Structure 1
Amino acid sequence: MIDVVAAIIINEQQQILIAKRKEEKMLGGYWEFPGGKIESGETAEESLIRELMEEMHIDIKIYKYFGENIYTYERETIKLIGYIAEIVKGKIILTDHSDYKWVKKQELTKYNMAPADIYFIKKLEKEASI
């Protein structure tokens, strides 16, 4: 099983950041909550901060653990660990995605999200506030 982290980044307008995977990557064309694989020796939080800097050139502040989802894709099983966060520094510059959007919580279901991320969308729908 591969441990993966995801950031549910919320801005001042209560919009959530989603990013579109590049077509040539695994799950190409799917939207996701940004993040990535946890490397050996890293905590989940350290990994998330590193991944967002590498993939989007932003510093984030993690507010709280949001949950986890174990999902089996065709080739591998992942444990996706989610955190609520915000951007504290930087302007988004994509290196690992083809696009990004800020969307309202209620709009997330309109996007072709990566299957493992759908668990977090359902959990967000149940939350009165994020």
Structure 2
Amino acid sequence: MMILAASGIILQEKKILLLQRSNYTENYPGFWGCPGGRAEKNETAEQNVIREVKEECNLDFSPTSIIKTGIWQDRKYYRFLGNWSGQIKIQEEEVLDFNWFNYEKAIKLNLSFDYKEIIEILYKNNLL
């Protein structure tokens, strides 16, 4: 049974918002990535990403396009570009830190999952 997972790519002035995963997480503790996570029962990918972004960093996210989909272990994942609003407030249990990064800084971080590839895609498309 595939688990659905989704994350939101949040951009501002050619910088990307990345969150540092806490040591409480089983996969990639201390690594950086976009806000996201596994869907709850009966959630769509869009509902999943809206809820996860809100939970992890308190932003209101509205997905506009899918930049990439893929399979990781037992998960079918979606990477959404979208619009956002609000003030960042991180969920301290799951997130150690956050910051806005330009391409040069982002690409040097320890990045979780496929985020190195995501950052390269954004850079090639002149979004970062």
With structure 2 as the length reference, what TM-score do the two structures score? Answer: 0.85
**Identical aligned residues as a percent:** 27
User: In the alignment, what sits opposite 1:117?
Assistant: 115
Report the RMSD for the aligned CA atoms in angstroms.
1.8
User: In the alignment, what sits opposite 1:70?
Assistant: 71
User: In the alignment, what sits opposite 2:59?
Assistant: 58
Quote the Cα distance in structure 2 between the aligned partners of 1:2 and 1:121.
24
Quote the Cα distance in structure 2 between the aligned partners of 1:38 and 1:105.
29
Structure 1 residues without counterparts, runs of 5 or longer? none
Equivalent runs, 1:14-29 vs 2, <5 Å: 14-26=14-26, 27-29=28-30
Contact 1:20 1:32 in 2 (8 A): yes
Equivalent runs, 1:1-130 vs 2, <5 Å: 1-11=2-12, 13-26=13-26, 27-72=28-73, 77-89=74-86, 91-95=87-91, 96-129=94-127
With structure 1 as the length reference, what TM-score do the two structures score? Answer: 0.84
Structure 2 residues without counterparts, runs of 5 or longer? none
Contact 1:106 1:125 in 2 (8 A): no
Quote the Cα distance in structure 2 between the aligned partners of 1:129 and 1:102.
14
Q: Aligned pair count?
A: 124
**Aligned amino acid, residue 118 of structure 1:** K
Quote the Cα distance in structure 1 between the aligned partners of 2:117 and 2:52.
21
